[in-house]
Structure 1
Amino acid sequence: MMKKNWLFVLALVLTFGIVLAACSEGSSGDQPNESEAEGSDEGEDEAASGEPQMGGTLTGAMDTAPAGVFNPIFYEEAYEDNILSFTHESLLSQNKQLEFEPNLAKEWEINEDQTEITLTLEEGVTWHDGEPFTAEDVVYTYKAISSPGYVEAGGIRTDYVVRLQGYEAFNSGETDEFEGVVAEDDHTVTFKFAEPNVTILKDVSFPIIPEHIFGDVPIAEIPEHPATLNAGEVIGTGPFKFTEMLDREQYVLEKNADYWKSEPYLDKIVWRIVEQSVMLGLLENGEIDFIADPNGVPAADYESVAGVEHIELIEQTDFGYQLMGFKVNHRSDADVEAGKLEPENWEANEDMGEQKIRQAMAYAIDRQAIVDNLLYGHGSVINAPIAQQFWAYDKNAVTQYTYDPEKAKSLLDEAGYVDTNDDGFRETPDGEEWVVNLNYPTGNKLREDSAPILQKFLEDVGIKIELRQPKEMTAYVEELTNDNTDWDLYLLGWSLGSGDPDPSGLWGADAAYNYSRWNNEQSETLMQEAMQAPEAFDQAYRKEKYSEWQSVFSEDLPALLLYAQNKIYGFNKRLQGVDPMPYSFINDPEKWWVTE
């Protein structure tokens, strides 16, 4: 329903949008030249008949530059994944029903008690530098993630290894022997788990990195290694090689002609970094060919883009969500300096640590109005932090938090936050001025536009909000991670993993991505029970546990899920072979081709 103050709020959005656009970084890089398809008359006949043809350059656009860590075991952002999805591969992939299928591993066998899986690898696969891909690369990748110092170096992928046999002893430095993954021969590898593993297929599907490049590099030095940072030195097995970059402006991928599945049709794929405000114009005039993850075509522009004859749109439910997080706790200075996540050392954020405050803020915000007016209906309000496509998602298990400013005010009153000096804003229970800061990054215009709207909704119930100057994503994530500061509220979006609905990687107390620093005993118990064999091999049992968990999450509320924005992919119709997955636009890019 449209609210009376909505026009005023939108005026705020426009005002802030101009300021933020002036602060954002645009692209001044050279425009890539598009190569013509190889072949003459024969090529024209192929194009006319709809048959794939070789050659051509494709140009995509991102609104935010990758942070620059092009290594699967250390990257953090979806923008870096836009590069890595072309360059690196996993042993297993998934289909559109999220079932696991062969990839670098052509087949596998799981023992009876689900503690071991032996995979047979494809033969003849080579790395981009020509070296053979073997089982030793698989062992090395998982050993690196399991190594002492991995988390301290910035690693956040431990969920793939914590269930491996001997992980704790190896990770703590008690032993130099890595038991969890064993190369039986060059093309056979066995994963061994300490207990029956419910997510065994997900756990063996992490992208593999080359042992011959990183094997002698100390784990602490990998994030700064040239093969992590530099175009031309990043090595994978994927269909495209990352060959050139003009940092923060342009990133070039060239075909891997020796790709083991089949030679890619395209010669190059180029990513350009451009502001959202000009992106659609570039798509319409042919300077870029596609707009995809993580933000896609803005919902506000759907109708105008749909009317452009040479552009095709694909809309699907997002495999993730946008949130307003509450900094329930902060890490200690000592733990930040040591690179440790120790929940027992966390320091409570006095105001955001109060559950009624968090719930009051949820009732104060009209999320449906945001979906209707900013997303133009291309999205949905959700209250459960599990992808809607998963069997575990339960919209009926959660507190709905419909827009109810009177309930918000009542909860604030109950918590002792009342306006004692009649200035329109509430004071703390101690009578002190109460100011809540709201932090957010640049890059995603919809999120930027949401920030002043959220401020207005919260101030309408008497919460004074300090809307802080937005920061570029890389600096924002660093401060969000090293959170021994005064942050209260933060805006962020998650593109969720498709392997399993287990939410512990984002919301477990010791998860690096648990930026709210949420530590709820009931939540921890339910997440553990949902993974505990043998009961958890029954999907109905897991679904019940995750329903209970979603109820706990929505009640205690470490974050308010603002919306799940529909993904709207836009691409020039000259691009053929596009077949997005539920979680990604990039799928079998070696099969992409252009008609001219």
Structure 2
Amino acid sequence: MLKRNHLLLMIILFMFGLVLAACSADEPDGEKGDGKATETTEEEKAASDGPKDGGTITGAMHTAPAGMFNPIFYEEAYEANILDFTHEGLTSQNESLEFIPKLAKSWETNEDQTEITFQLEEGVKWHDGEEFTADDVVFTYKAISDPDYVSAGGVRTNYVEPLLGYEEYASGETDEFVGVVADSDYQVTFKFEEPNIMPLYYTSFPIIPEHVFKDIPVAEIPEAAESLDAGKVIGTGPFKFTEMIEREQYILERHEDYWQGKPHLDKLVWKIVQQSVMTGLLEKGEIDFIALPGGIDPADFDMVNEYENVTMIEQPDFGYQILGFKHNHRTAEDVENGVINPDNWVPNEKIADPKVRQAIAWAIDRQGLIGEGHGQGLLHGHGELINSPIAVQFWAYDENAGMNYSYDPEKAMEMLDELGYVDVDGDGYREDPDGNEWVLNMEYPTGNQLREKSAPIIADNLDKVGIKVDLRQPKEMSVYVEGLTNDNSDWDLYLIGWNLGSGDPDPLGLWGIKDAYNFSRWNNPESDELLYDAVKAPNAFEQDYRVEKYREWQDLYSEDLPALILYAQNSIWAYNDRLQGVEVLPYTMYKDAHTWWVND
């Protein structure tokens, strides 16, 4: 972590997979140097006295959560900011991205890697006082495997697809769920259809309580108060979600019976704040931290770095921003039924040719978005170009794989001319090869200032090569995600960012054909073959084999272009010095929040 003028740059790491009103002392009279020395001494004295119980911290988000507070159904990082403090999985990860115990205290795999058995922590209490057991683990995975899960809006099937009997259970062929078995109250075994190369990843999903949801059909869980309402959401985490003023603030109170020890803080409050005013509130002490998603605007980095009461963290992000291409759209019937069936998809003829998508990529000044230093670009140099949808921290990322679409508008225009996209009527914009008007509809969400600023720049880049873009008015994130999910039939281009899991570089879950998050509706069987080969035993037990498969896949992705990777922004987080006990991981600063305390 870095303090004021010292940046922590995280080294490349090994291994994938997934998201707070304070008082600050006035400066004493006299010279600034004397005042700072006195303030620092007081801080050091408070810290040396050790953790204190009590107090409230406030964090800021620029976009309100859509409102789903159930781990098996949530979709976006703003909801994850609540769930990260309320729910837990069997395992967690350390600074080296190794899996470590959480709700499970130990585990053992069988010889052929088809089973993994966990010994669970005893005495863990849910927020309502009920005891956590192996039955809760079974229930969670059974719910995600339920025949009604996907049609109800669930998108986490990648965690259950490798389990023994998943296909039979999910299709309704059998009522017996055999993939996860409770051997006793505190022992649970996961069984896989085939030897599994990353069982700790698949078994790391946050657990929900059986006693809360057992009488609610899975199809109705997303509408249940237990998934939506503060005071009804039950987890095992260090804080309970107790109150909210929707789209304004979300209040979490400490879980007195938390199994790792009562949290020091009384409350943790999330406030929804415009990104443009966050840093000023941080300096004044009206908010205590700014982290995921988005963090500090790179344009404000130097300013915030001068704040005397603030600690800053900068490290490579586990994610990226994309310009997505809608290859296909789902039918209205499939959307209504919650079905993802590639056989029914309707091709988007406007950008069906991969060479058209490549021309668009050449036309966009990605480096201009990033900049190379202070005062340049939207990121002011706090990010990097990447050409693959795999985080740079992973061993599978290959900077030499795929095409580096550098800014080359001349090449873009030459390609479009050769494809027959030329200006027929002299209005400055290209028609399609049949002479019809060619307009690309582009959508993007509000909330993230960098993304909002990127949209008109990208539209202008395309305008300069003769591509007419209908840049729509930005939508609030919850409305935007609904449009993406439902495949509104006139969307051609879209902007979104992905925060990746840190457990494994496997891109399935985002880019598999039937993945709900495959918003481009990319239908490339060769891609799926490579992705599934890369995780299939026995070959995939050898990392070199996986490296080669992912290199081939990155080349294919770059050529077929379901999306253009715009950039990987650095994570820039900051917190007020009154907040103590923060330990930063490569993918989050929300580690062990029960040990956080304030030195008021």
TM over 0.5: yes
Letter paired with 2:85: F
CA–CA separation in structure 1 for the residues paired with 2:74 and 2:189? 26
Aligned with residue 468 of structure 1, among 460, 468, 472? 472
CA–CA separation in structure 2 for the residues paired with 1:50 and 1:277? 36
- CA deviation after TM superposition for structure 1 residue 34, in Å: 7.1
- CA deviation after TM superposition for structure 1 residue 234, in Å: 0.4
CA contact (8 A) 2:326 2:492 kept: yes
Letter paired with 1:412: L
- CA deviation after TM superposition for structure 1 residue 131, in Å: 0.3
CA–CA separation in structure 2 for the residues paired with 1:99 and 1:184? 26
- CA deviation after TM superposition for structure 1 residue 53, in Å: 1.5
CA–CA separation in structure 1 for the residues paired with 2:262 and 2:397? 39
Secondary structure of the corresponding residue to residue 232 of structure 1: coil
Aligned with residue 556 of structure 1, among 533, 543, 560? 560
CA contact (8 A) 2:24 2:284 kept: no
Q: TM-score, normalised by structure 2?
A: 0.92
Mapped pair 1:405 → 2:404 = no
CA contact (8 A) 1:124 1:260 kept: yes
Q: Deviations over 1:240-265 (max 9, x none)?
A: 11111001100001111211112211
What root-mean-square deviation, in Å, do the aligned CA atoms of Structure 1 and Structure 2 show? 1.5
2:299 — aligned with what? Answer: 300
Mapped pair 1:423 → 2:427 = yes
- CA deviation after TM superposition for structure 1 residue 438, in Å: 0.8
Letter paired with 1:112: E
Mapped pair 1:319 → 2:318 = yes
Q: Deviations over 1:377-403 (max 9, x none)?
A: 000111100011111111111110111
Mapped pair 1:585 → 2:589 = yes
CA–CA separation in structure 2 for the residues paired with 1:243 and 1:521? 46
CA contact (8 A) 2:21 2:287 kept: no
Q: Deviations over 1:309-350 (max 9, x none)?
A: 111110011100000000011111211111100011111000
1:379 — aligned with what? Answer: 383
CA–CA separation in structure 2 for the residues paired with 1:338 and 1:230? 26
Give matches, 1:162-173, under 5 Å: 162-173=161-172
2:463 — aligned with what? Answer: 459
1:256 — aligned with what? Answer: 255
CA contact (8 A) 1:34 1:57 kept: no
Letter paired with 2:183: E
2:91 — aligned with what? Answer: 92
Aligned with residue 509 of structure 1, among 510, 513, 521? 513
Name the CA shift for 1:296/1:50 in 2 (closer, same or farther; >3 Å).
Answer: farther
Give matches, 1:68-467, under 5 Å: 68-372=67-371, 373-467=377-471
Letter paired with 2:164: Q
Percentage of identical aligned residues? 64
CA–CA separation in structure 1 for the residues paired with 2:124 and 2:24? 28
CA contact (8 A) 1:252 1:270 kept: yes
Which runs of no fewer than 5 residues in structure 2 stay unpaired?
1-19, 26-41, 372-376
Aligned residues: 560
Secondary structure of the corresponding residue to residue 505 of structure 1: coil
CA contact (8 A) 1:118 1:190 kept: yes
CA–CA separation in structure 1 for the residues paired with 2:153 and 2:23? 38
Letter paired with 1:539: Q
2:497 — aligned with what? Answer: 493
CA–CA separation in structure 1 for the residues paired with 2:583 and 2:270? 19
Which runs of no fewer than 5 residues in structure 1 stay unpaired?
1-30, 37-42
CA–CA separation in structure 2 for the residues paired with 1:525 and 1:189? 32
CA–CA separation in structure 1 for the residues paired with 2:23 and 2:126? 27
Letter paired with 1:577: G
Letter paired with 2:227: T
Letter paired with 1:251: Y
1:533 — aligned with what? Answer: 537
Q: Deviations over 1:165-221 (max 9, x none)?
A: 111111111111000000000000000111111121100100000000001110111
Name the CA shift for 1:46/1:71 in 2 (closer, same or farther; >3 Å).
Answer: farther
Mapped pair 1:60 → 2:59 = yes
CA contact (8 A) 1:46 1:53 kept: no
CA–CA separation in structure 1 for the residues paired with 2:418 and 2:105? 60
Q: TM-score, normalised by structure 1?
A: 0.92
Deviating runs (4+, > 4 A) in structure 1? 31-36, 43-46
- CA deviation after TM superposition for structure 1 residue 48, in Å: 4.9
2:28 — aligned with what? Answer: none
2:29 — aligned with what? Answer: none
Q: Deviations over 1:67-126 (max 9, x none)?
A: 010000000010000000000000011112111111100000100111000000001101
CA–CA separation in structure 2 for the residues paired with 1:35 and 1:430? 66
Secondary structure of the corresponding residue to residue 301 of structure 2: helix
- CA deviation after TM superposition for structure 1 residue 414, in Å: 2.1
Name the CA shift for 1:135/1:432 in 2 (closer, same or farther; >3 Å).
Answer: same
- CA deviation after TM superposition for structure 1 residue 422, in Å: 2.0
Letter paired with 2:344: N
CA–CA separation in structure 2 for the residues paired with 1:33 and 1:304? 20
1:40 — aligned with what? Answer: none
CA contact (8 A) 2:384 2:567 kept: yes
CA contact (8 A) 1:35 1:55 kept: no
CA–CA separation in structure 1 for the residues paired with 2:358 and 2:136? 48
CA–CA separation in structure 2 for the residues paired with 1:519 and 1:498? 26
- CA deviation after TM superposition for structure 1 residue 585, in Å: 2.2
CA–CA separation in structure 2 for the residues paired with 1:121 and 1:369? 51
- CA deviation after TM superposition for structure 1 residue 32, in Å: 5.1
Secondary structure of the corresponding residue to residue 351 of structure 1: helix
